[in-house]
A and B are shown apart, each in its own frame.
Chain A
Amino acid sequence: MTAEVNDVAIRAQGLSKSFGAVQAVRAAEFTVSRGEIFGLVGPDGAGKTTIMRMLAGVLRPDAGGILVDGVDVGAEAERAKLRLSYMPQRFGLYEDLTVAENIFFYGELFSVPRKERLARSTELLDAAGMSPFRRRLAGQLSGGMKQKLGLVCALIHTPQVLLLDEPTTGVDPVSRRDFWAILYNLRESGVTILLSTAYMDEAERCSRLALLHGGQIRYCDTPARLKQAMPGALFAIASPTPRALRTAVAGQPGVLGVLLMGDRVHVRVDDPARRLPELRDLLAGLGVPDGAILATEPGIEDVFVALLGQEAPT
C-alpha cells in the first residue's frame, strides 16, 4: 500500500483468533481506504463476524494489530470506539425502548450535543423512512425497520468508520434499497464502511471485496478485478430442466465448474474457442436448442465459487 497514513481508515495486520482448537481467523491482512465500502464475503464460519468484532474492539485478537482511523485498537480500544460504530449481526438495540429512546440512549453514550442529536436523528429517520415510528417500541418494528434503526443509532455520533455485520440479512427488498441509499450517502460524506454480506448483489456494490474462507482472506480486490482474475470463460445455458443439464455438463472435458443460477446453468470452461463447439454438440444430443447457450460476464457469485472452489453462502 502506497496510500498515505491519513487515507487509511482501517488497517489489519496478521490478525489471528482461535476459540479453543478452532482457528476462526488466520493472519488476516487488509487495508481499507477512507470513503470505501469494503465487503467481507465468505460462507458461514469463514471468520467474518470474528474479524468484525476484533475491529470493533469487543474481541481481543490472539495476534496482530488493528488501526482504526489512526488509533491502535489493541492498545486504545476505548479511544477507537469513539470513532467507529459497530452494528452486530444480531439486533443489538433495546426492544423494550422506543425508536426515539434508543436513539437518545446511543446519542448520550457518545455525548452528542442535544441540538446536533435532534437534527441528526430527524435527518436520519427521514432518510430511513421511519419518522412516523419514533414512539414505537423497537421490538414491534419489522425486521427491515429494526436494521434501519440500528443504522440510525450507529450513525447518531457521526462515526468515521462504520462496521456492519450482515446488516441486510432477512431484510425486505424495499428496506434494503433504503439501507443502501443511506450507505451511499455516507460514503459521499467520507465515512468508511466495512460490511459483511451474504448477498452477491450487495457484494457487487462494494468498492472492494475480501473473499474469506476457513478464516483466511483468499482474495482481496475490486469486484471488477476479481472477475478478471477468474480463470476461464463463462457460458450461460437456459434450460427448462437446469438440474439435469448441470449433471450432464459437469463431467465434460475442459469444464472447470458448473453453477446453477435459477433456470440457467453457468458453465466455466478453460478454453472457450475450443469448448463452445463441444458444448453445442452435447446440448444438441440433449435436445437443447442451439440459441440457449450464450457467452456471459461473470457475476460475483461465479467468481466466488471459482476462486474459493465452493458454493456461495446464499
Chain B
Amino acid sequence: MNARRLFALAYKETLQIWRDPRSLAIALLMPLMQMAMLGYGVSLDIKHVPLCVYDQENSQQSRALVDRFVSSGWFSISRTLGRQAAIRDAMDRGECIAALVIPVDFSRQLATTGSASVQAIFDATDVNTTNIALGYAEGAVAQANAQIAAQWAAAHGIKPSLVGQVDLRPSTWFNETLDSRNFIIPGVVAVILALVGAQLTSLTISREWERGTMEQLISTPVTALEVMLGKLIPYFVIGLVDAGFCLVSAVYWFGVPFRGGIGTLFTTTALFIIVVLGIGYLISVRIRSQLGASQIALLVTMLPTTLLSGYTFPIDQMPAPIQALTLVVYPRYYVTILRAIFLKGSGLTDLWVPLLGLTVYAVAIIWLAARAFRKRLD
C-alpha cells in the first residue's frame, strides 16, 4: 500500500465525479428527490378520510357525534346528504369512502335507554384503507361513548366513578403519536443510501473498461487494493454527506424524533455505507459495461431494501422461510439499527446483534471486493 498512489487515485476519481454530470446528479440530486418522494409519498397513515354524513335528526347531540369524527383529524366531511340513496351515489362518484348515518330518533333513544345505534358504511374496494378507517371510526365512537356515559351517569345522579365501566388508557412508547412516518423515514434513509451508494460505485470500474483507460492503468505498478480503496474513498465521503443530508432532513424537516447519540449514528451509518459501496464495486469489477453494472446494482439494492428490510413490510409477519432470507439482507440490520437509534435512543451495546450482522457483512464484502479485481485483461 502506497499512500501517494492511493491519494492520486482518490484525487483522480474526485475530479472525474466532479466533471461527470451523471455521477453528480446521482450523488447529490438523487438523495434530495428520493427523500422528498419517499418521505412524503410513503405513509401508512390515512388522514382526512372523506366522510359523507346523513344526519336524519340534526340535533345538538347528533352534531356532537359528527364533531367527534371531524375533530379526530382522521375524517373530514366531504358532503352532507339529505337521503339514504344519496350515499350510494356519493360512493360511486368517489366523493367519500365512509358514510355516517344517524337515525332520526338518535337523541331520544339516548335519553330513554342510554344507548343508540348509528350506521357507518364503508367503501371496501381498498381493503387496507377501509380497515384503517374502520379503526378510526371505532375510536371516535368510543370517545363519544365515554362522554355520553359520563353525562348519563351525571343525569341519573350516579357518580361517574361508580358506573361499571372499564377505562382503558393505552400508552404507546417510542412513537407516541403513532405516526407511521416516524417508523418509515429511518427506513427511507437506508433505502436512499443503498441505492445511491451502489449506483455510484457500480460505474467506477466498468467506466474504466468502457473508456479504454483500464489497460493503461493496469500496466502501472498500482495494486488492486490501492485501486479499490482509491476509488471507494471519494464515494465514502459522498455517502457520508448524503447520509448527513438525509438524517438532518428526517429530523428537522419530517420531524422524526431523534433520541440516540450522534456517534452511534455515525458509526453504524459508516458501516452501512461501506457495505453498499463494496457491493457496487464488486458488481463493477464483474460487469464491464456501465449500463449493465448500473442495472444489476439497482436490482440487488432496490429489491431487498424495499421488500425484505422491514422498511415497510414488518419482518415478523413474513412467512418463516422469507424471515430466514432476511437474515442475509444487509439493509435489514441497518433499518433495525436506525429505528432503534431514532425512536428508542439505543446505544451501540444495545444494538450488538444487528451491528454484528452488519459488521460481518462489511468484512465479507470488502474481502470479496479486494480479491475480485485482477490486474489483467484476460
Residues of A within 8 A of B (CB): 53, 56-60, 77-78, 81-82, 84-88, 90-97, 101, 104-106, 108-111
Tell which of A53, A58, A95 touches B211, judged by Cβ atoms closer than 8 Å: A95
Contact B5 A92 (CB under 8 A): no
Q: In whole angstroms, what is the CA distance A58 to B376 when docked? A: 5
Let me know if B222 and A109 touch, CB within 8 A.
Answer: yes
B residues contacting A by CB (< 8 A) are: 2, 4-5, 7-8, 11-12, 15-16, 19-20, 211-223, 375-378
Nearest Cβ on chain B to A148's Cβ, whole angstroms: 15
Q: How far is the CA of A311 from the CA of B287 in the complex (A)?
A: 39
> Is A96 within 8 A of B221, CB to CB?
no
**Inter-chain contacts of B4 with A (CB < 8 A):** 108, 111
Residues of B within 8 A of A59 (CB): 376-378
Give CA–CA (A94, B217) in the complex, Å: 10
Given A58-B375, A108-B5, 9 more A-B residue pairs with CB atoms under 8 Å apart are A57-B219, A58-B376, A77-B375, A87-B216, A88-B216, A91-B212, A95-B211, A105-B11, A111-B2
Contacting A110 at CB < 8 Å: which of B221, B223, B376? Answer: B221
Say how far B217's CB is from chain A's closest CB, in angstroms. 8
Contact: A97 with B221, CB < 8 Å?
no
- Candidate in B20, B211, B215, B217 with the most chain A CB atoms within 10 angstroms: B215
User: Which one of B7, B12, B218, B378 lies within 8 Å of A101 (CB-CB)?
Assistant: B12
Are A86 and B376 also in contact (CB < 8 A) when A78-B221, A96-B16, A111-B5 are? no
B205 to chain A minimum Cβ distance, whole angstroms, is 14
Q: Which residues of A contact B2 (CB under 8 A)?
A: 111
A97 proximity list for chain B (CB < 8 A): 12, 15-16
Tell me the nearest residue of chain B to A17, going by C-beta: B378
A302 to B362, CA, bound (A): 63
- Contacts A97-B16, A109-B222 hold; do A92 and B378 have CB atoms under 8 A apart? no
Could you jot down 27 A-B contacts, CB within 8 Å?
A53-B377, A56-B219, A58-B219, A58-B375, A58-B376, A59-B376, A59-B377, A60-B376, A60-B378, A86-B216, A88-B212, A88-B219, A90-B212, A92-B217, A93-B216, A94-B213, A95-B211, A96-B15, A96-B19, A97-B12, A108-B5, A108-B8, A109-B5, A109-B220, A109-B221, A110-B220, A111-B5
Chain B residues in 8 Å Cβ range of A108: 4-5, 7-8
* Complex contacts, A77 vs chain B, CB 8 Å: 375
Nearest 6 A-B pairs (CB), nearest first? A92-B216, A108-B8, A86-B219, A90-B212, A88-B215, A109-B220
Residues of B within 8 A of A96 (CB): 15-16, 19-20
Minimal beta-carbon separation of A220 from chain B (angstroms): 24
Residues of A with C-beta under 8 A to B377:
53, 58-59
A81 touches B221 (CB 8 A): yes
Query: Are A81 and B378 closer than 8 Å at their CB atoms?
Result: no
Contacts of B11 in A (CB 8 A): 105
- A149 to B309 CA separation, bound complex (whole angstroms): 50
Indicate if the CB atoms of A106 and B220 lie closer than 8 Å: yes
Nearest CB to that of B220 among chain A residues? A109
Q: Is there an interface contact between A92 and B15, defined as CB atoms closer than 8 Å?
A: no
What is the distance, in angstroms, from A306's C-beta to the closest C-beta of chain B? Answer: 34
CB-nearest residue of chain B to A84: B219
Nearest CB on A from B8, distance (A):
3
A53 surroundings in chain B (CB, below 8 A): 215, 377
Q: In the complex, which residue of chain B has the Cβ closest to the Cβ of A90?
A: B212
Shortest distance from the beta carbon of A87 to any chain B beta carbon, whole Å: 7
Separation of A111 and B9 alpha carbons in the complex (Å): 12
Q: Which residues of B contact A101 (CB under 8 A)?
A: 12, 15
Which residues does chain B contribute within 8 Å of A86, judged by CB atoms?
216, 219
- Taken together as a complex, chains A and B put the C-alpha atoms of A109 and B378 apart, in Å, by 23
C-alpha spacing A57/B215, complex, angstroms: 10
B212 near A92 (CB under 8 angstroms)? Answer: yes
**Which residues of A have CB within 8 Å of B220?**
81, 106, 109-110
Other-chain contact of A92, B19, B20, B213, B222 (Cβ < 8 Å): B213
Choose from A78, A82, A87, A91 the contact partner of B223 (Cβ within 8 Å).
Answer: A78
Q: Which residue of B lies closest to A154 (CB)?
A: B216
With both beta carbons as reference points, the residue of chain A lying nearest to B2 in the complex is identified as: A111
Tell me which of B221, B223, B377 has the highest count of chain A C-beta atoms within 10 A of its own C-beta: B221
B206 to chain A: closest CB distance in Å? 15
B8 and A105 form a contact (CB under 8 A)? yes
Docked Cα-Cα span, A96 to B4, in Å, equals: 21
How far apart sit A77 and B223, CA to CA, in the bound complex (Å)?
11
CB distance from A80 to the nearest CB of B (A): 9
Q: Contacts of A92 on B, CB cut-off 8 Å? A: 212-217
Q: Closest A-chain residue to B16, C-beta based?
A: A96
**Complex interface: chain A residues within 8 A of B211 (CB):** 94-95
Q: CA–CA, A88 to B219, complex, Å?
A: 9
Q: Which residue of A lies closest to B222 (CB)?
A: A109
A103 nearest CB across to chain B (Å): 11
Q: Is the CB of A58 within 8 A of B19?
A: no
Contacts of A90 in B (CB 8 A): 212, 215
Listed residue (A53, A84, A86, A92) with the most chain B CB atoms within 10 angstroms of its CB: A92
* Set of chain A residues within 8 Å of B376, measured between Cβ atoms: 58-60
Q: Write the nearest CB–CB distance from B254 to chain A, whole angstroms.
A: 37
Are A82 and B20 interface neighbours, CB within 8 A? no
A78 partner residues in chain B, CB cutoff 8 A = 221, 223
Residue of A nearest to B5 (CB): A109
A93 to B217, CA, bound (A): 9
Chain A residues with CB below 8 A from B7, complex form: 108
CB proximity of A233 to chain B, nearest CB, Å: 44
- B216 — which chain A residues lie within 8 A by C-beta? 86-88, 92-93
Q: Chain B residues with Cβ under 8 A from A56's Cβ?
A: 219
Residues of B within 8 A of A82 (CB): 221
Interface centre among B5, B15, B20, B216 (most CB of A within 10 A): B216
Contacting residues, chain A, for B212 (C-beta < 8 A): 88, 90-92
Measured CA separation A111–B16 after assembly (Å): 21
CA distance A218 to B110 in the complex (A): 112
B214 to A, closest residue via Cβ: A92
In the bound complex, how far is the Cα of B47 from the Cα of A177, in angstroms?
77
CB of A46 to closest CB in B, whole Å: 18
Least distance between B161 CB and chain A CB atoms (Å): 79
Instruction: Check if A81 sits within 8 Å of B5, measured CB to CB.
Output: no
